[in-house]
Structure 1
Amino acid sequence: MKNSFRLSLTWLHTWSGLLIGWILFAVFVTGTATYFRHEITRWMQPELRGGASPIDTARAAVARLETVAADSDSWFINLPDARDPSTVIFWREPGQRRFGTETLDPHTGEKLTARDTRGGEFFYRFHFQFMLPHPWGRYLAGVAAMFMFVALISGIVAHRRFFKDFFTFRNGLGSLRTWLDFHNVSAVLALPFYLMISYSALVIFMYMYMPWGDRALSDGSRPPPRRAAPQGAGGKAEAKPWIATAPVGPMLDEAARRWGRDGSTLQRLSFSGRGTGKATATLIRADGEHISTTHREQLRFNAVTGELLPGEETRAGPAAAIHGTLYGLHLAHFAGPVLRWLFFLMGAMGSALVATGLVLWTVKRRPQQKAGKRLSFGHGLVERLNIAAIAGLPVAVAVFFWANRLLPSGLEARADIEERCFLIAWAVMLLHPLVRPVMRAWREQLWLGAALYLALPFLDLCAGPWLKAAFARGDSTYLGFHAVIVFVGLMLVVAARKAGRPRPPKPGVASAYAHQTAAGAPPAPPRPV
């Protein structure tokens, strides 16, 4: 323990932020991109066309499932909306646990010939799985969320002038003061968002992190195992006759009558127990009015007769309601365009918060290391990990986008190759600082990232007609993606120009601190880093 409670929390804030800061930066960057994952997917699959009615699309999707999965007992259909023009169908393979899937053209109902890519879904999955086998990525995300929550609480308590310093930016007092002010401003400006996002991240997978309560409550209440199927004379299970499913048209007409003739709020269809007398069809409405994920208006039909089943009033308990609300806040599916942009900006500030904290750790200790004229192994390791995370990750993301345009559209396992390009690029950015001086490595990676982002619109222009077509029809989604890409490139240019050229502190600042220390007066307690 340190000399005081506040200094102890300062130490806790410093090390809880550093030890997993590089992973936290990746979590924030990919999570911020996830707020526009559908828009990213639209750019990465420019062949997709929007504008189809969900009702008509649902009819075409059911017809496609009757062709490719007629003997499946479970169907699932995700319908297009204003942000995501794709139609995705899933079906359970007969006698297996795995699912088949296809992406359909919303206008024709045929299998889409667009390039194979994860699109924005890659950032969503990486945000909490890190491309690791299940469930290890989610455990790592939980550890990162816990460390972040601890760093936030300890930083608030340890920082005596937390809100006062928010209104103060002192440029020219040296790199340490500047980095600290950047860190403080980015922390205070979106503090409620950081607290919400870190706490809700823990709550989302709380049943995985702490499963013992659920197991204790479920003891003795689990359903009995299924009985074996009746055996015939030959010792084989008796085959039951397949019961046909009712036409989906009247069900869709009922949904249109209740939710609007265009069916624009119809989000998902599911069929369960197909082929049996207990088959059901569920139509789920997109709900942007409620924050909680537990609020979903739906219609249930008897899939054999087509009869509308009475709605079952199911109210979530307090724990489930709180879980659903925090889950909904984290995902922000309820957010309209303005609120979604606000979440995006706060996520970007969170990325800056983590990045400035990591850099501040090295800047604060660099004079002590230079006094010994030899950097310690730990300091050198942190410097290089900072470069690979803060400068290298944007480079890897840019390579991911470049691969989407450069790889042949019909390449087998194309989506997997795009992800490998991302990982290879990031691995190269991790190795690069090991063979280059620290400041040069910073500049080289930042300049590389700036070049990749600023050249991406020109690559898109040369790769196909999509950018010209977007200008012609005024496609704000497609053009907005390029606007954000160019802005990121310009920010990297600014960072590259300033990297490695810290301003020396003003003589008055350094001498005052030195005089105070030499005179025997205790220096001001260290600020949280």
Structure 2
Amino acid sequence: MSTPATKAPSQGGGFRQAQAWLHTWCGLWFSWLLFAVFLTGTLAVFDEPITHWMTPEHHAEEAAAAAKKAKGEPTADRAQRLAWGMAYMARHHPGAPMWELWPSDAQGGGELRVFWFDANREYVGVTLDPVTGKPLNDEPGHAARATQGGHHFVDFHYELHAGTVGLWIIGIATMAMLVALVSGVITHKRIFKDFFTFRPKKGQRSWLDAHNAVAVLTLPFQFMIAYTGLVISGTSFMPAPKVLHYGTGPAAQMRFVSELSDSENPVATGRAMPVPVLEPFAARGQERMGQPVRAVVIDHPGDAGARIGVYGWNGDDDSLRRLSAATTGMVQFSAATGEVQRVRLPGAADGGATMTAQSAMGGLHMVTFGGWPMKWLYFLCGLAGTAMMGSGAVLFIVKRRQKHLGEFGGATARVYRLIEALNVAAIAGLAIACVGYLWANRLVPVGIGHRADRELQVFFALWALALAHAFVRQPARAWREQLGALAALCLLLPVVNFLTTGDHLLAQLLRSDWESLGVELGVVAFGLAALGALRHLLRKGVR
């Protein structure tokens, strides 16, 4: 920030004053993006429950499967499920370079799913009926809506749906966050004392107390989540050593991944060979690794050089104790000879210490350990981090509303107005876009083409609309109107769900659908919080 408008303090101002300047401006310019990253990352903690809620067509099948299991009704065994999965892939995707079959859950029941890479190297899949082996989407009454589900929040969190460019933007913002965290600790010499101090109804002082409290409360979490986020994408941010040694292009990337994981990719021979029966491989793999079979993967199916990999399920105890969910058992076979080519026992990591460290960092960042209690801890810490970003942005403008500091010369008033509008759109507007994404899931027609893209378009359109609204309305009115819209969208979501799918909170409770129930109650809780904030603004006449 070396421009005259935001010039740094003079040398005589002291080190703490310099850090205060750095904290203020580095924090402000990145606070809007970091608020979005933290909010979507916090929601991404529960991406699977969100996806479950957003695919209501599967609920009936899941309930029926659970009822059959409870009654002890016979279901297809693993051998039959694998045969059905292989038959589907041979019929519909014979030229795919990889087939991946998930025959059942760890108890031998649940869904039958198959996955493959399409012509664009996109990872896609379908769910098959575990009783008949037919695609569920082809059965009458089984038309399922296409959606990204909770993965939308995961994708936006780390790359803004913008691929490598988005990943770099997030990386730069994360570095700025680390700078703001360090400079904030240096600036607030009474930071831990201030943590136990909150002075309500004191305007700027109250905002500062709230900002300090949520920052100090989760300070170790904020450092950890920022640092691990950078580390797990380290080869993207610092690619020079990899490019120098391996070169560029898909082949170079494959060789890098292969050597990093101490594994060799199978090579197609060009000689045709039918895919062998998979159950014997699954049984041998389960015996060698000591885990139930999670997936069977065939590389180069139909080729004499095909490789069959059998992967295990981590049990509940494993997920509680291990940082990385990727460290399951794995056994690889030659499809032609049945020879065991490679074995990885549960808890081991491919690639030695390097991959162990990478796996641990990924587990820390993506909370793949500790079960639901740890997910809730991450969720609450993520909300605190989101509040830290939002309160810091609001604090900047509250302070300057009381005392005009003139950092931008004659343009200061216009810049302050810009910052106020961005605050509204980044905080209330993004929340509206997130819940609007859930509304779109229920309102966009199920059979429309590119349906998942339509849901994303609603998300970004609502956010853009919120930004435009924040610019054309006075700040106080914009805050009140957007918080009112947010409260209405959240509180009415269960009503929309009932009107469009016939599902409701009581039904979810009765069938023990805790994921759907949790999503809707969580949204309602956010709506009540927005309603409380709106009432406060209406009562005080300020934001």
TM-score bracket, normalised by the shorter chain, equals 0.7 to 0.9
Hey, what does 2:49 align to over in structure 1?
A: 39
User: How far apart are 1:308 and its partner, in Å?
Assistant: 3.8
Tell me how far apart the structure 2 counterparts of residues 465 and 310 of structure 1 sit (CA, whole Å). 50
Tell me how far apart the structure 2 counterparts of residues 397 and 357 of structure 1 sit (CA, whole Å). 21
Hey, what does 1:290 align to over in structure 2?
A: 322
1:435-479 CA distance string (max 9 Å, x none): 111101000000100000000011111212333542331211111
**Which of 514, 522, 526 in structure 2 is aligned with 1:476?**
514
Tell me how far apart the structure 2 counterparts of residues 13 and 470 of structure 1 sit (CA, whole Å). 46
1:216 aligns with 2:244: yes
**Matched letter for residue 188 of structure 2:** H
**Which of 272, 280, 283 in structure 1 is aligned with 2:307?**
280
Does the C-alpha gap of structure 1 residues 259 and 212 become closer, same or farther in structure 2, counting only changes over 3 Å?
closer
Does the C-alpha gap of structure 1 residues 297 and 259 become closer, same or farther in structure 2, counting only changes over 3 Å?
closer
Name which of structure 1's ranges 241-250 and 291-300 shifts more when overlaid on structure 2.
291-300
Tell me how far apart the structure 2 counterparts of residues 73 and 175 of structure 1 sit (CA, whole Å). 62
1:76 aligns with 2:100: yes
**Which of 470, 473, 495 in structure 1 is aligned with 2:533?**
495
**Which of 64, 86, 98 in structure 1 is aligned with 2:88?**
64
RMSD: 3.2
2:32 and 2:422 in contact (8 A); partners too: yes
**Which of 182, 196, 201 in structure 2 is aligned with 1:167?**
196
- Number of paired residues? 483
User: How far apart are 1:341 and its partner, in Å?
Assistant: 0.8
1:256-312 CA distance string (max 9 Å, x none): 556779x3xx43332113233321111222442421466332111222344444526
Hey, what does 2:72 align to over in structure 1?
A: none
Hey, what does 1:147 align to over in structure 2?
A: 176
SS of residue in 2 equivalent to 1:301: strand
Hey, what does 1:343 align to over in structure 2?
A: 378
Name which of structure 1's ranges 309-318 and 435-444 shifts more when overlaid on structure 2.
309-318
SS of residue in 1 equivalent to 2:387: helix
Tell me how far apart the structure 1 counterparts of residues 104 and 49 of structure 2 sit (CA, whole Å). 13
SS of residue in 2 equivalent to 1:333: coil
1:130 and 1:137 in contact (8 A); partners too: yes
2:50 and 2:519 in contact (8 A); partners too: yes
Equivalent positions of 1:64-463 (< 5 A) are 64-77=88-101, 88-93=113-118, 96=119, 98-99=121-122, 101-105=124-128, 107=130, 108-111=132-135, 112=137, 113-132=143-162, 134-172=163-201, 174-218=202-246, 240-257=270-287, 263=292, 266-287=293-314, 288=319, 289-292=321-324, 295-311=327-343, 316-369=351-404, 376-463=413-500
Identity %: 35
Tell me how far apart the structure 1 counterparts of residues 178 and 27 of structure 2 sit (CA, whole Å). 10
Which stretches in structure 1 are left out of the alignment for 5+ residues? 227-238, 505-529
Name which of structure 1's ranges 382-391 and 294-303 shifts more when overlaid on structure 2.
294-303
1:333-352 CA distance string (max 9 Å, x none): 22301111111111111111
**Matched letter for residue 274 of structure 1:** P
1:464-515 CA distance string (max 9 Å, x none): 23335423312111111111011000010111122376599xxxxxxxxxxx
Larger Rg: 1
User: How far apart are 1:59 and its partner, in Å?
Assistant: 4.7
1:442 and 1:500 in contact (8 A); partners too: no
Does the C-alpha gap of structure 1 residues 88 and 490 become closer, same or farther in structure 2, counting only changes over 3 Å?
same
Tell me how far apart the structure 1 counterparts of residues 181 and 195 of structure 2 sit (CA, whole Å). 15
Does the C-alpha gap of structure 1 residues 100 and 21 become closer, same or farther in structure 2, counting only changes over 3 Å?
closer
SS of residue in 2 equivalent to 1:90: strand
**Matched letter for residue 484 of structure 1:** G
2:298 and 2:308 in contact (8 A); partners too: yes
Tell me how far apart the structure 1 counterparts of residues 517 and 50 of structure 2 sit (CA, whole Å). 11
TM-score normalized by structure 2?
0.81
Tell me how far apart the structure 2 counterparts of residues 470 and 257 of structure 1 sit (CA, whole Å). 39
Tell me how far apart the structure 2 counterparts of residues 34 and 478 of structure 1 sit (CA, whole Å). 15
**Matched letter for residue 183 of structure 2:** S
User: How far apart are 1:370 and its partner, in Å?
Assistant: 10
1:175 and 1:503 in contact (8 A); partners too: no
1:250 and 1:306 in contact (8 A); partners too: no
Does the C-alpha gap of structure 1 residues 59 and 183 become closer, same or farther in structure 2, counting only changes over 3 Å?
farther
SS of residue in 2 equivalent to 1:196: helix
User: How far apart are 1:183 and its partner, in Å?
Assistant: 0.6
Tell me how far apart the structure 2 counterparts of residues 314 and 278 of structure 1 sit (CA, whole Å). 25
1:299 and 1:308 in contact (8 A); partners too: yes
1:31 and 1:124 in contact (8 A); partners too: yes
User: How far apart are 1:383 and its partner, in Å?
Assistant: 0.4
Tell me how far apart the structure 1 counterparts of residues 47 and 124 of structure 2 sit (CA, whole Å). 20
1:230-272 CA distance string (max 9 Å, x none): xxxxxxxxx94411111111222334556779x3xx4333211
Does the C-alpha gap of structure 1 residues 297 and 10 become closer, same or farther in structure 2, counting only changes over 3 Å?
same
**Matched letter for residue 24 of structure 2:** T
User: How far apart are 1:101 and its partner, in Å?
Assistant: 2.6
1:293 and 1:327 in contact (8 A); partners too: no
Which stretches in structure 2 are left out of the alignment for 5+ residues? 1-7, 67-74, 138-142, 256-268
Does the C-alpha gap of structure 1 residues 310 and 443 become closer, same or farther in structure 2, counting only changes over 3 Å?
closer
User: How far apart are 1:217 and its partner, in Å?
Assistant: 4.2
2:288 and 2:331 in contact (8 A); partners too: no
Hey, what does 1:6 align to over in structure 2?
A: 16
TM-score normalized by structure 1?
0.83
**Matched letter for residue 471 of structure 2:** L
1:97-138 CA distance string (max 9 Å, x none): 534733214535433331111100111111112122x21010
**Matched letter for residue 493 of structure 2:** L
Does the C-alpha gap of structure 1 residues 284 and 140 become closer, same or farther in structure 2, counting only changes over 3 Å?
same
User: How far apart are 1:433 and its partner, in Å?
Assistant: 1.4
